[in-house]
């Protein structure tokens, strides 16, 4: 029987530390590594990160768009990276932010959440802004496959507020509504559910939102975007132990030196653990 994503995530975070490293091979980062913005550069970048971190970091978040821009050859690199990361014990959250309705949403889910898919990932980021119910094909397949979802709820980009903090007729914001749906998905699960929210670490005081969804909170924004590990308790309050803090440029800028990448990831993991356990 396949263990749920929530169970596997809790175990990985307890063992390796609560850190998610984003894998974002955009052109500027490839250039800073002295690499060309082509398949050769993409491969060198990606598999250097895999070599440096796959055996020690709990969670990885490859951004699918930076691989898709190279067409089928880029997707092939992504497939290999996902397989290598998972084989080394890392969990993969595919950052694809898929969102649609009906059979199209089902097809997106099958691409990343069906066990025999070349891109099968431990979890997938999804957008609920065609209505939370539109995510049902992904929710159902995630449950069947022992995978998880991270639903965009309170994102750190300034534009997000015009939708996520809009108030419904019942007085709840859209973001709060998404959190409530996720709490329902995770009800009764132990040690935590598999259906998480994306909540920006740069958002400051979120005490007006109920972040206790009994599921993981993927928290981008640490490092280059300005948030620090020390900020996590103030932002997430009592839910901080379920936070999966994502760091991308803060770690990746130390490449292509494998030792420097590993040292940076270790340092962030230690700082996050200290902040969460304080």
Q: What is the DSSP letter of 94?
A: E
Give every CB contact of residue 61 below 8 A, 6+ residues apart in sequence.
20, 21, 22, 23, 92, 93, 94, 95, 218, 246, 248
136 is catalytic: no
Q: Which of 114, 111, 53 is nearest to 85 (CA)?
A: 53
Burial (CB count <10 Å: 0-12, 13-18, 19+), residue 214: buried
Give Cα separations from 101 to 41, 132, 134, 174, 221 (angstroms): 36, 10, 5, 19, 29
Which are the catalytic amino acids? 97
């Amino acid at each position: 029987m396949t263990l749920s994503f929530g169970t596997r995530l809790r175990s990985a975070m307890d063992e390796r530390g609560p850190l998610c490293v984003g894998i974002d091979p955009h052109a500027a980062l490839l250039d800073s590594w002295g690499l060309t913005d082509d398949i050769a550069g993409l491969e060198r970048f990606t598999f250097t990160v895999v070599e440096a971190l796959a055996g020690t970091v709990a969670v990885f978040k490859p951004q699918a768009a930076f691989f898709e821009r190279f067409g089928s050859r880029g997707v092939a690199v992504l497939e290999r990276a996902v397989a290598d990361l998972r084989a080394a014990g890392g969990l993969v959250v595919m950052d694809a932010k898929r969102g649609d309705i009906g059979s199209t949403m089902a097809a997106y889910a099958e691409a990343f959440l069906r066990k025999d898919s070349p891109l099968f990932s431990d979890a997938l980021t999804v957008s609920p802004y065609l209505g939370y119910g539109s995510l049902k094909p992904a929710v159902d397949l995630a449950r069947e496959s022992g995978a998880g979802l991270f639903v965009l709820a309170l994102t750190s980009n300034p534009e997000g507020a015009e939708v996520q903090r809009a108030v419904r007729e019942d007085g709840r914001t859209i973001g709060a509504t998404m959190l409530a749906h996720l709490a329902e998905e995770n009800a009764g699960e132990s040690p935590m559910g598999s259906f998480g929210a994306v909540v920006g670490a740069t958002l400051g005081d979120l005490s007006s939102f109920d972040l206790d969804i009994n599921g993981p909170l993927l928290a981008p924004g640490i490092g280059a975007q300005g948030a620090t590990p020390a900020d996590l308790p103030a932002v997430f309050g009592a839910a901080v132990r379920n936070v999966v803090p994502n760091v991308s440029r803060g770690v990746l800028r130390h490449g292509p030196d494998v030792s420097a990448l590993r040292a940076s990831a270790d340092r962030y993991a230690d700082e996050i653990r200290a902040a969460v356990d304080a």
